[in-house]
Amino acid sequence: MANKVAIVTGANRGLGFAIVKGLCLKFEGTVYLTARDEKRGVEALTKLQTEGLTPQFHRLDVSDIDSVRNFADYIKTKHGGFDVLVNNAAILEWDEVYPSYEAAKRNVDVNYKSLLTIEEYLFPLLRDGARVVSVSSACGHLSNLKNKKWIETLSDTHLETESINNFVDEYLNSVKYGTFDKNDFADEGKHAEHRVSKIALTALTMVQARKYKNRNISINAVHPGHVKTDMAVGGGEIDPDKAAEVILYLILDASPNLTGTFMWHNRKLVDWLDAEGDYYCKGLW
């Protein structure tokens, strides 16, 4: 039997680091800590090694197609495939509440469009029965939207990736050409770029869950809570180790039949399609 392999993106600090640590303690197989910055990645690796843990490190910039392709080639050559993927890499330039086009595009490229690249190059290496967890947030719930056309599009039970891409591009064009409307979003459209990228991530999770269900691959999105990291506005409320627990649950303990869901940090399964619900991100900036 092939050695089981788990991969965590954006794992040199914060939540990603905590997920790797938890997997090293509980997952029976090889755990890859990946990060865009090799120096910081190696430092994180060394820190875990001093605690007696033995993850592997590989550089991975999820926003760089060549980097993703090279990593996929490495995994294919070294292991033939893998069993767990945690899409954790993300950015939030929180000092720009209403960002420039360039800042909005950076957020969308890293938080959402990188997942399309990962699906293209890494998903073919997922073994049957694999588990994928994409880290979303309260910003990723559909209730962050007020634009009825967008809600209707993303609520389609036959939603396809192309429609998600169209939604994302429509938002970016509104910023680029000065037609952005705060009323299209909850909370006066503050950090709409982050809401759009995380909504798109969650929607893509639902699409992927349908696409790969016949291979028994479990794919879910999760809101880990307002985690105490340097990316969190106001410092966060939940310790990374505590926040990692819900992700480790989805990987290690949840039913393999659980797929296409949006799980809250308390393990509650939230109806992602409840656009009128009180789940949207608020009061963090």
pLDDT tens for each residue of 20-75:
999 999 999 999 999 999 999 999 999 999 999 999 999 999 999 999 999 999 99
Whether 93 is in a domain gets the answer yes
CATH number at residue 257: 3.40.50.720
Instruction: Give the pLDDT score at 232.
Output: 46
Whether 78 is in a domain gets the answer yes
Residues composing the chain: 285
Whether 35 is in a domain gets the answer yes
Whether 160 is in a domain gets the answer yes
Whether 199 is in a domain gets the answer yes
Boundaries of domain holding 202: 5-270
Distance of CA 241 to the CA centre of its chain: 17
Instruction: Give the pLDDT score at 229.
Output: 63
Instruction: Give the pLDDT score at 188.
Output: 95
Instruction: Give the pLDDT score at 275.
Output: 97
User: Residue 138 to residues 19, 200, 225, 264: CA-CA distances in angstroms?
Assistant: 19, 13, 8, 8
pLDDT tens digit at each of 285 positions of the chain: 469 999 999 999 999 999 999 999 999 999 999 999 999 999 999 999 999 999 999 999 999 999 999 999 999 999 999 999 999 999 999 888 999 999 999 999 999 999 999 999 999 999 999 999 999 999 999 999 999 999 999 999 999 999 999 999 999 999 999 999 999 999 999 999 999 999 999 999 999 999 999 999 999 999 999 887 655 444 567 899 999 999 999 999 999 999 999 999 999 999 999 999 999 998 665
Instruction: Give the pLDDT score at 131.
Output: 98
Instruction: Give pLDDT tens digits for 2-24.
Output: 699 999 999 999 999 999 999 99
Whether 275 is in a domain gets the answer no
Number of domains the chain contains = 1
- SS3 readout for 223-282: CCCCECCCCCHHHCCECHHHHHHHHHHHHHCCCCCCCCCEECCCCCEECCCCCCCCCCCC
**3-class SS of residue 124:** helix
Q: Which two tokens stand for residue 270?
A: 């939230």
* Beta-carbon count within 10 A of 257 CB: 8
Instruction: Give the pLDDT score at 113.
Output: 98
Whether 215 is in a domain gets the answer yes
| 2 in Cβ contact with 79 (< 8 Å) | yes
Strand ranges (E), the chain: 5-8, 30-35, 56-59, 82-87, 126-135, 218-222, 262-263, 269-270
Instruction: Give the pLDDT score at 139.
Output: 96
Place of tokens 């292991």: 79
Whether 112 is in a domain gets the answer yes
Q: What residues contact 207, with CB distance under 8 A and at least 6 apart?
A: 159, 160, 161, 164
- Scored b (16 or more CB within 10 A) or e, 156-166 reads eeebebebbee
**Of 91, 76, 97, 99, nearest in space to 37 by CA:** 91
